[in-house]
Structure 1
Amino acid sequence: MKLLHHGRYALLLKFSLALGISISATQYKIDQQGVAYAGETKQPPAKKSNKVLLGTDDLTSGIPGKGPLTVKEIKEWLSQPENHEILEVSLPLGLSAGTAQIVGLKENPLTRAKIELGRQLYFDTRLSADNTVSCASCHHPDEGYGRRTQFGVGIKGLQGGRNSPVSYNRILSGAQFWDGRAASLEEQAVGPIANPIEMGNTHENAVKTVKEIPGYQIQFDKIFKEGVTIDNIGKAIASFERTLVTGPSPFDFQEQLRPFLKMDKEDLEDLEEEYKATLALTKANPMSKSALRGRTLFFSEKVNCAACHLGPNLADEKYHNLGVGMTVKNPDLGRYVVTKQEKDKGAFKTPTIRNVALSAPYMHDGAFETLEEVVEHYNKGGHPNPYLSDKVKKLNLSDQDKKDLVEFMKACTGAFPKVESGRLPQ
C-alpha cells in the first residue's frame, strides 16, 4: 500500500481505531446471518482455539448430540482440556470499540465448559420453585432476549411491575436491572431465583436441586473447586450471558464506510482494495435512505438521541427520568430506591438501541408497544415532572423525521448467535 499524501493515512488509521473500525475490510466474511468473522473463512480450526470472537455460534451451540444430555456425553465433554482453557475474547464489528468496557472477565474468566454449564442453567426451569420458570422465560432468544409481555411473568402467572430487560451485550454492562440494584451480572443471575414473583425459590433449595442432578454435579465439581454453590450458579449463568453478543448491523457496516466517503479521489486510489471491500460489505447489508436520514437526526444537535444512546452499545449505562410512568399516583421511583438520592427519582437505566426492534414493548414499564410510540414520547418532551432529565426536550419532528428515526433504529439490528435451548442434563 502506498503512503497517503499529507499523512492522511495515519490520521485515518487513528480515527478508525478510536471508533473500533477495521480499515482492512477484507479480513471480514459474512455468513447467512450477517455476522462478520475475522479471517478468510468461518470454518473453525481442527483444535478449538482459546481466542474467540463473541457473537458466533461456536460458544452457544451446546454439547453436540440430540436429546437430553447424558452423563456419558458430559464426561466426554469435560475430558477435553481445551474446554477448560481461559478464553481470550474479541467483539464483532461495531461493538469492538467497547473492548475496554468489557466487565467481569478478570473475576470470572470465560471457559467453554463454564459457558456450556451456564447455557444449561439458563434454560432449566428446575431452578424455580415449581419447575415452570427459567431465565429464558423472561429473556427468550425468540423474543429478542426479552419478552413480549408488558411485565415479567413468574411462577403461578405472577407479574412484576417492570418490563423484562434484554440479556444481550451484557458483557459491556456493570450494574444490572432497570435500577442498577445488582452490582454485577453474577449477582443479577441469581436474584430472580429467590424473588417470590419470579422463580419463587430459595437459593438453598436451588443448590439442593442442582446437586441432585448427576449431570450438573459432575460439571460443577470439574469447573469449580467449591462445587455447587449459589455463587457458582451465578458465575456459570453470567458466563453464558456474556456470550450473547449482537453481530454487525447495517449501521455498523455503514459506519465502517464513512471515513472513506470523506476522502478525496487521490486518497481513495491509495486505499482502493480496502475501500472496495468495505463498500461491498455495506451494499450487502444496506441502510435505506430513510434510515440514513434517521442516522443523521439521531446524532444531530436538534434531536441528540446520542446524549444517552452513545458508545459501542449505543447506551450510556446511566439512569435518566424520561417522564415515563410519572402520571400515576405512586410512580415507580427506579434508581432512587437504590441510591436514596432525590435526583434519581423516576430514573431508569438507558437500554441499548442495538436490536431494539426485536424487544417490544418498550421502557421500564412496557408502556409503549412500538418504536413509533417511543419516538412520539420524546417528540412531545416526555411527561413533565420535577425530576425530568434535562436531556428530554420537545423536538417538533415532522412525520417523516419520526419515520426516519424508527428506520434508523431498525437498521441497528444484527444477528444473534444460534443458541441450543434444549439438551439439558437428565
Structure 2
Amino acid sequence: LSKDSSVSCASCHKPAFAFSDTVAFSTGIFGKLTSRNTPSVLNMKNRPYFFWDGRAATLEEQALIPIANPDEMGLAITEAVARLNQSDEYRKLFKKIFGQLPNAKNLGAAFAAFERTLETEDSKFDDWANGNGELTQQEERGRQLFVSNRAKCFDCHSTQDFTNDEFKNIGLYNGNTQKDEGRFFITKEQKDLGRFKTPGLRNIAVTGPYMHDGRFKTLEQVVQYYNNPYMFVDDPLNMDTLLLQPLQLSNQDNADLVAFLKTLTDRRFLK
C-alpha cells in the first residue's frame, strides 16, 4: 500500500525487532527518511493516543496516516482503497469480515484489529510478577531502583506496559540544535513545547535506537542520559521538573537498571 509498492508497514515495523525499526529514521518511498524514529506497535491496545505527538486518537485513525504520509508510503487513501478493490482476494475477505467491499473506514479497522492482537506478557519480569520465577540479584537491584525516588523511572513508566501515557519534555528540545517541538506542533500550547509521548518499555531491549530522534543506540546510553541530561543537550527548554537535577546514579546503578530493563523482553523476541 505504498505509492511505488516498495514499502509496507513491516518495512519500518519489523516483526523480528518487536515491530520497530533498527535505524534512527526509517526509509520511505523514493528513499525519503521519516522525521522521527519508528516506535514499536506492540502493546497498543490500551493506549489513549498514538504517534510521538499524540496526533491520532484511535488505532483506526493511526493506521491510515503513514499510508498517506508523503515521506512514508505516499499513497492517497482513496487510491489505496481502489487498489484493494482491484483484488479478488481482498474483495472477498473484506466482504466476509465487514459485509462490505474495502473502504477507508474498514481498512483502518482491519489494521487496528491486527494491532490489538500484538500484546506481550511472556517475559522474565512477567514470570517474576506472577510468582513463577526469580530475578537475578542485579536485576532485582535494578527493579528496586526503577521504582525508587532516586531514579524516578516509575514516575512516568508505570502500569503494566510501563507508561503513564502522558507527554513529557525530557530535555531534548532547546530551540537551537534540538528543534522538534513535539506535542506543541499539534496543540500549539506553550506547555507542550518539546513534549513527546512516554513510550512503554516492554521489549525495550530490542527496539533501539531510542528517543523520538533515535539518537541513542543502546540502553546504556539512555540511562546515562537520564542520569544527567545536561551532559548531552545545552540549555534545554521547558524540561520536566523531574529531570532538573542530575540523578547522581553510579555506574553500578546504571548497569543494574539496564539489567532490569532487559527482563521486559517477551520470549518471542529473545535472540
What is residue 104 of structure 1 aligned with on the other side? Answer: none
What is residue 207 of structure 2 aligned with on the other side? Answer: 359
Distance in 2 between the 1:400 and 1:160 partners? 36
In 2 relative to 1, CA 337–252 (structure 1 residues): closer, same or farther, beyond 3 Å? same
Distance in 2 between the 1:381 and 1:255 partners? 31
Using the TM superposition, give the Cα deviation of residue 348 of structure 1 relative to its aligned residue in structure 2, in angstroms.
0.4
**Deviation by residue 1:291-350 (Cα, 9 ceiling, x = unmatched):** 110001000111110000000100011110011253744610010111111010110001
Residues 245 and 416 in structure 1, CA contact (< 8 A), matched pair in contact too: no
Secondary structure, counterpart of 1:170 in structure 2: coil
Is 1:390 aligned to 2:256, yes or no?
no
Is 1:306 aligned to 2:180, yes or no?
no
Using the TM superposition, give the Cα deviation of residue 416 of structure 1 relative to its aligned residue in structure 2, in angstroms.
4.3
Using the TM superposition, give the Cα deviation of residue 251 of structure 1 relative to its aligned residue in structure 2, in angstroms.
1.5
What is residue 181 of structure 1 aligned with on the other side? Answer: 55
**Deviation by residue 1:86-132 (Cα, 9 ceiling, x = unmatched):** xxxxxxxxxxxxxxxxxxxxxxxxxxxxxxxxxxxxxxxxx111111
Distance in 2 between the 1:201 and 1:142 partners? 26
In 2 relative to 1, CA 134–223 (structure 1 residues): closer, same or farther, beyond 3 Å? same
Distance in 2 between the 1:371 and 1:193 partners? 30
Distance in 2 between the 1:328 and 1:152 partners? 24
Correspondence list, 1:117-156, <5 A: 127-156=1-30
Give structure 1 regions of 4+ aligned residues with deviation exceeding 3 angstroms: 325-330, 381-384
What is residue 221 of structure 2 aligned with on the other side? Answer: 373
Residues 379 and 394 in structure 1, CA contact (< 8 A), matched pair in contact too: yes
Is 1:401 aligned to 2:253, yes or no?
yes
Distance in 1 between the 2:182 and 2:215 partners? 15
Q: Aligned pairs, how many?
A: 265
What is residue 73 of structure 2 aligned with on the other side? Answer: 199
Residues 294 and 407 in structure 1, CA contact (< 8 A), matched pair in contact too: yes
Residues 244 and 416 in structure 1, CA contact (< 8 A), matched pair in contact too: no
1:385 is aligned with what amino acid? P
Residues 147 and 153 in structure 2, CA contact (< 8 A), matched pair in contact too: yes
Is 1:253 aligned to 2:127, yes or no?
yes
Distance in 2 between the 1:311 and 1:350 partners? 12
Distance in 1 between the 2:166 and 2:115 partners? 21
1:299 is aligned with what amino acid? V
Distance in 2 between the 1:329 and 1:211 partners? 46
Secondary structure, counterpart of 1:391 in structure 2: helix
1:387 is aligned with what amino acid? N
What is residue 61 of structure 1 aligned with on the other side? Answer: none
Structure 1 residue runs of 5 or longer lacking an equivalent are: 1-126, 258-280, 418-426
2:64 to 162, 184, 190: 190
1:159 to 27, 30, 33: 33
Q: Percent identity?
A: 42
What is residue 169 of structure 1 aligned with on the other side? Answer: 43
1:359 is aligned with what amino acid? T
1:315 to 153, 159, 163: 163
2:74 is aligned with what amino acid? G
Correspondence list, 1:13-412, <5 A: 127-257=1-131, 281-282=132-133, 286-326=134-174, 328-329=176-177, 331-381=179-229, 383=233, 384-392=235-243, 393-412=245-264
Q: CA RMSD in A?
A: 1.5
Secondary structure, counterpart of 2:194 in structure 1: coil
Distance in 2 between the 1:415 and 1:174 partners? 26
Residues 168 and 196 in structure 2, CA contact (< 8 A), matched pair in contact too: yes
TM-score, normalized by length of structure 1?
0.60
Using the TM superposition, give the Cα deviation of residue 414 of structure 1 relative to its aligned residue in structure 2, in angstroms.
1.5
Residues 175 and 237 in structure 2, CA contact (< 8 A), matched pair in contact too: no
Residues 173 and 237 in structure 2, CA contact (< 8 A), matched pair in contact too: no
Secondary structure, counterpart of 2:62 in structure 1: helix
Using the TM superposition, give the Cα deviation of residue 248 of structure 1 relative to its aligned residue in structure 2, in angstroms.
2.4
Residues 172 and 236 in structure 2, CA contact (< 8 A), matched pair in contact too: no
1:318 is aligned with what amino acid? E
Distance in 1 between the 2:42 and 2:127 partners? 20
In 2 relative to 1, CA 308–347 (structure 1 residues): closer, same or farther, beyond 3 Å? same
What is residue 267 of structure 2 aligned with on the other side? Answer: 415
**Deviation by residue 1:22-66 (Cα, 9 ceiling, x = unmatched):** xxxxxxxxxxxxxxxxxxxxxxxxxxxxxxxxxxxxxxxxxxxxx
Using the TM superposition, give the Cα deviation of residue 157 of structure 1 relative to its aligned residue in structure 2, in angstroms.
1.3
2:20 is aligned with what amino acid? G
In 2 relative to 1, CA 195–406 (structure 1 residues): closer, same or farther, beyond 3 Å? same
Distance in 1 between the 2:130 and 2:97 partners? 40
**Deviation by residue 1:167-201 (Cα, 9 ceiling, x = unmatched):** 00000112100000011111110111111010011
